[in-house]
Structure 1
Amino acid sequence: MTRNYSAKSLAVLLRARMHPDPLPSPAPPPQPSPPPHTDPDTAASVRHWLHASASAAFPDPATLDRFSDGYRSLDHGGRREVLRSLATEYDVPRARVRDLMRQYMSLASAAAAAGGDEAEAGAEEGKEGAAALLYRMEQGLRDALQPRYSGFLEAMNAQPGGLKLLAVLRADLLALLGEENVPALRALDSYLKEKLVTWLSPAALALHQITWDDPASLLEKIVAYEAVHPIRNLIDLKRRLGVGRRCFGYFHPAIPGEPLIFIEVALLKDMASSIQEVLWDVPPTPESEATCALFYSISSTQTFATLSPIPGFMQWLLAKLASQIKLAETESQESNSLGGVSSAFKEPVLLPIEEKMIRDAHEQADGKQAIELLDDLLKSSQWVKSDKISAALKSPLMRLCARYLAREKKRGKVLDAVANFHLQNGAMIERINWMADQSEKGIQQSGGIMVNYLYRLEHIEEYAQSYSSTGVVHSSPSLSQYLEPTNT
């Protein structure tokens, strides 16, 4: 095979994220992290640009661009302040709606009274005039019932790159709703969701065949987003775009160069019985002899993820430890009368290896059981200051946190309120993150652990339905390693 790579080939080779042998489990593309701190001047500027855009009948495109750039630069807290402001300060103008409703009811009553007197001169003309005025007032009511942020969202959608910004904004809004499920935020989310469904309608998508001659930036996305059969190297990529192969992408005109979905097709003599036949068909079937078009990979490139708190985890865990400690004490006291029979409610909260790690890390065990030592450590909140103790607690806390999120339920729904919100909206539990929130509140609520909920557009409806109807919690292999631990 020739080694004379073109400039495009080298660009893809240098920029693309390749997968070495053996093939790893596919992972979603990394989400960009906002900066750790927002400059107060930047936050104030973003709110100013929001006000200027949301208050104008025809928002200035330059101001919308400034808002978009400024919003992306905000940190976690700054973005949430903007969302709260958008939802509350630019909501439906209810005072104006009430005034229009009073005027409308008064006019409707007068029109009804006038309409009853057919003998009065000019009655017909009066009825027509009143009806026309009612129609105008009804139109005014419809306009007034629109939230004031509607014009801002419409204008942002019309901006180059604005639709993608709105998708980012809704992802942030979903994360905020998981913590602050208030009516104004729900109304904003419902309105934005309805608009996105319209703006991202399949009728607006364009199908484009992706070839080796497309820009390197597009080919890089194909490598990065291939979620079914990862692309291993440059040669593999070129094969999938070469003879006997087709790759098609769905593009939205408002997000140029960004395939929302792409489909890979193999032209074969017969229907394949294994993926090896498709990926390593060397030499490829001559296209003139092909009788079967096999669709072997469909990948969605757009995902939304949150980094969310787990506010109920530590409360649940401490209650679990307290009940097990109490059961152990009761068994010890009544062992003679019970003849050594164990309580049906007792369960091994810790694995044997975890018990050993906790005892080894605790300098003053005083003959206590491992769950008692764990209970003491978690109540003090000082364990985070010791690297040795933190290392010992990581395994049991991550495992128990995964269990709490995915398996502990009441009436078929998970116990954690934030998890329940995201799962019923179609998310999956992607992964849990150790020491992601080291604030005092984060340690007290969840031992510093945070969770990524992932919204895969192609599965949102399916996951929401299965969770609502059967309580199925969808999670990634990353979480399964904690849900199915070994006893070694």
Structure 2
Amino acid sequence: MQRNRFLSDILTTLFDRSGTIRSVNDTRDIYALCNALLSAEGTVSGQSLAATVLERYRKLSDDDKLSFFKYLNDDLDIDATDLSALVATYATDPTPDAFKNLSNAAEPRRQELLRRLNQPVGATADIVAMRVDLLHVLKDHPELARTNHDFVHLFRSWFNRGFLVLKTIDWDTPARILDKIVAYEAVHQINDWDDLRRRLYPPDRCCFAFFHPSMPDEPLIFVEVALTKTVPGSVTKLLSNGRTPLGADDAKVAVFYSISNCQKGLTGISFGNLLIKQVVAELSLSFPQLETFVTLSPIPGLTRWLATQIDDTDHGHVATTILGGQGSAADIRAMAARYLLMAKRGDGMPLDPVARFHLGNGAEVYDIHADADTSDNGIAQSSGAMVNYLYDLSQTQRHHADYVFKSIVTAAKPAQSLSTAALSPKPKETTS
């Protein structure tokens, strides 16, 4: 028996909803079909109607898709007048029937439509793809945020932790899945199959992904892990072609060096916190000698922030030098520490999106490194700097609470020291 039987092989029979017949001869337009799906007809022929709606949707032009979203947004919205009357009734007479009527009226009909659309085989992936189209038009049509809210509301239920399955991705994983890993890698590009093999095959390299039973061939999010002796300071060295693999039993540190969200349609549905914590648990079981769990993360907002600092009387000259490609390693580390620990948005949260992710998960800023990512992208976004976030599971809950409720950015001593380190002095002005 094969040791590595993949997710789709396990779950196909459990989630088989085959037998759906598309109503290819149904001449009604997509709106009439949706209304039928929401009616009593939908309880009898729901799978067939839903499959036909989804098939028609896939063939719509961009303009017609926008019209469809406006239909969801306006025609299937709540009836505010009716809801107001039901609220008043429930306030004076909170009976179970009054509560039921109020609850039904408070839910937009588009939520029920999306639920009923999610009946045929493959429907969940179609609805996730539908939200990608919605996100494309949302900027120019902000009123559609009401419909977007309902997509997110349903996805948070459909993709909750109880349905997610963690799978190890290795060199024996089916090629159709490995192709997706290559395509979805968002942090450090995988150049070819040899590059992928170097990330999956050696004993000191691991990869884990979350899957959903209704989308068994589509990873939702995955993390690449390196096992090392010490906390690393360079992804360039970590991914070097010529490195000598470490025996897994000799490793003391697990390094999460790439976390990639795979489904744009699930933007706003957080899997990262769950993924990291479960991977830590899996690694701790497989490699009990591991002592430290850290990331080696990009700092994508550093260059943008430096560009806003060139007039600062304290460090503007350093920001200018770094932006010009002449900054010293010490100055890059110090400025990156100031950015990560002190630069905040209007709501008090850190400017850097990766920092918000890891700090929100209960990690702490551990250390910062210069010349850590010498790729074109690494130089462009952070002058090559990268940061370690430390995951101490005995402290993550406290750090999370401090971050969420007090906007505290927890930092270890190395990062704290860097944030107050002396910078290169201003060059003396020459006189003519």
Please identify runs of 4+ aligned residues in structure 1 that moved more than 6 A.
467-474
Deviation at residue 221 of structure 1 after TM alignment: 0.9
| CA gap 1:49/1:283 in 2 versus in 1, 3 angstroms | same
The 1:231/1:175 distance shift into structure 2, 3 A limit, reads closer
Aligned partner of 1:238 in structure 2 is 197
Pick closer, same or farther for the CA change 1:152–1:270 going to 2, 3 Å.
same
Whether the 8 Å contact between 1:92 and 1:146 is mirrored in structure 2 is yes
Whether the 8 Å CA contact 1:54–1:90 is kept in 2: the answer is no
* Counterpart-to-counterpart distance in 2, 1:471 and 1:211: 35
User: Is the CA contact (8 Å cut-off) linking 1:80 and 1:176 kept in structure 2?
Assistant: yes
Residues in 1 aligned to 2:127 and 2:151: alpha-carbon distance in whole angstroms: 8
RMSD of Structure 2 on Structure 1 (CA): 4.1
Tell me if 1:291 matches 2:263. no
The whole-number CA distance in structure 1 between the counterparts of 2:66 and 2:201 is: 46
Change (3 A) 1:228 1:98: closer
Distance 1:284 1:268 in 2: 9
Residues 42 and 70, structure 1, Cα contact 8 Å, conserved in 2: no
**For the Cα contact (< 8 Å) 1:223–1:231, is it kept in 2?**
yes
Could you report, residue by residue, the CA deviation over 1:324-347 in whole angstroms, capped at 9, with x for unpaired residues?
xxxxxxxxxxxxxxxxxxxxxxxx
What is the CA-CA distance between 1:76 and the residue it aligns to? 0.7
> Are 1:200 and 2:162 matched, yes or no?
no
Does the CA-based 8 Å contact 2:111-2:154 persist in structure 1?
Answer: no
* Bigger RCO (CA 8 Å, 6+ sep): 1
Contact kept, 8 Å, 1:204 with 1:253, in 2: the verdict is yes
Number of the residue aligned with 2:429: none
Q: Offset of 1:305 from its aligned partner?
A: 12
CA contact (8 A) 2:155 2:266 kept: no
**1:60 is paired with a residue of what secondary structure?**
helix
Q: Deviation of residue 288 (structure 1)?
A: 3.1
Cα distance in structure 1, aligned partners of 2:168 and 2:202: 14
- Kindly indicate whether residue 70 of structure 2 is the aligned counterpart of residue 84 of structure 1: yes
1:47 counterpart residue number: 31
Write out per-residue CA displacement over residues 80-108 of structure 1, whole angstroms, 9 at most, x where no aligned residue: 11111122222224576577678x48x95
SS at match of 2:210: strand
Q: How does 1:97-136 map to 2 (within 5 A)?
A: 97=83, 104=89, 134-136=95-97
Alignment of 1:210 onto 2:154: no
Task: Write out aligned runs for 1:242-257 (5 A).
Answer: 242-244=201-203, 245-257=205-217
Which AA in structure 2 matches 1:209? Answer: T
Once residues 163 and 220 of structure 2 are traced to their aligned partners in structure 1, the CA distance between those partners, rounded to angstroms, is 12
Tell me how far 1:78 sits from its aligned partner.
0.8
- For the 8 Å contact 1:211–1:247, the answer to whether it is kept is yes
Q: Deviations over 1:239-277 (max 9, x none)?
A: 221122111111122221111111111223333332243
* C-alpha distance in structure 1 between counterparts of 2:250 and 2:174, whole Å: 30
Hey, what does 2:58 align to over in structure 1?
72
- Alignment correspondent of 2:109: 148
In 1, the alpha carbon distance for the partners of 2:351 and 2:62 equals 30
For 1:278 and 1:226, locate their aligned partners in 2 and report how far apart those are by CA, in whole Å.
16
Task: Give the structure 2 partner of residue 314 of structure 1.
Answer: none
Q: Structure 2 vs 1, CA of residues 471 and 236 (structure 1 numbering), >3 Å: closer, same or farther?
A: closer
Q: Could you tell me the TM-score, scaled by structure 1's length?
A: 0.45
Q: 1:177 to 1:293 in 2, by over 3 A?
A: closer
Unaligned runs of 5+ in 1: 1-40, 109-130, 307-405, 408-464, 482-488
Match for residue 262 of structure 2?
301
Which of 132, 141, 145 does residue 171 from structure 1 map onto?
132
Kindly provide the CA deviation profile for residues 98-150 of structure 1, in whole angstroms up to 9, marking residues without a partner as x.
Answer: 77678x48x95xxxxxxxxxxxxxxxxxxxxxx79x33233223223322222
Aligned residue pairs total 257
Residue of structure 2 aligned with 1:223, choices 166, 182, 192: 182
Amino acid at match of 1:155: R
Matched, 1:274 2:245: no
Distance 1:279 1:173, change over 3 A: closer
Determine helix, strand or coil for the equivalent of 2:63.
helix
Partner SS state of residue 29, structure 2: helix
C-alpha distance in structure 2 between counterparts of 1:135 and 1:242, whole Å = 59
Cα distance in structure 2, aligned partners of 1:60 and 1:467: 47
Where 2:34 maps in the other structure, the secondary structure is helix
Contact 2:211 2:218 in 1 (8 A): yes
Matches within 5 A, 1:379-458: none
Deviation at 1:283, TM superposition (A): 3.5
Specify the alignment match of 1:138 in structure 2: 99
Decide whether aligned partners of structure 1 residues 288 and 85 sit closer, same or farther in structure 2, where only a CA change above 3 A counts: same
Alignment-mate amino acid for residue 271 of structure 1: V
Deviation at 1:471, TM superposition (A): 12
One-letter code aligned to 2:106? L
* Matched-pair contact (CA < 8 Å) for 1:43–1:78: no
Aligned to 1:453: none
* Kept after mapping to 2: 8 A contact 1:264/1:295: yes
Does the 8 Å contact 2:46/2:119 carry over to 1?
A: no
- Counterpart residue type for residue 173 of structure 2: D
The CA distance in 2 between the partners of 1:270 and 1:73, in whole Å, is 53
Equivalent residue of 2:223, what SS?
A: strand
- Please list every run of 5 or more consecutive structure 2 residues that lacks an aligned counterpart in the other structure: 1-24, 268-306, 309-343, 354-375, 382-432
Mapped partners of 1:279, 1:175: distance in 2: 34
User: Percent identity at matched positions?
Assistant: 30
- The alpha-carbon distance between structure 1 residues 200 and 101, as it changes in their structure 2 partners (threshold 3 A), is closer
> Taking structure 1 as reference, are residues 243 and 305 closer, same or farther at Cα in structure 2, changes over 3 Å only?
closer
Look up the SS of the partner of 1:240 in the other structure. Answer: helix
Q: Distance in 1 between matches of 2:226 and 2:86?
A: 62
How big is each residue's C-alpha offset from its partner over 1:58-91, in whole Å with a ceiling of 9 and x where there is no partner?
Answer: 3611221221222122111110111111222222
Match of 1:115 in 2: none
Shift of 1:469: 7.0
Q: What does residue 61 of structure 1 align with?
A: 47
Conserved 8 A contact 1:54-1:149: no
Cα distance in 2, alignment partners of residues 301 and 186 from structure 1: 22
CA change 1:92–1:238 in 2 (3 A) is same
Work out which of the two has the higher radius of gyration on C-alpha atoms and give 1 or 2. Answer: 1
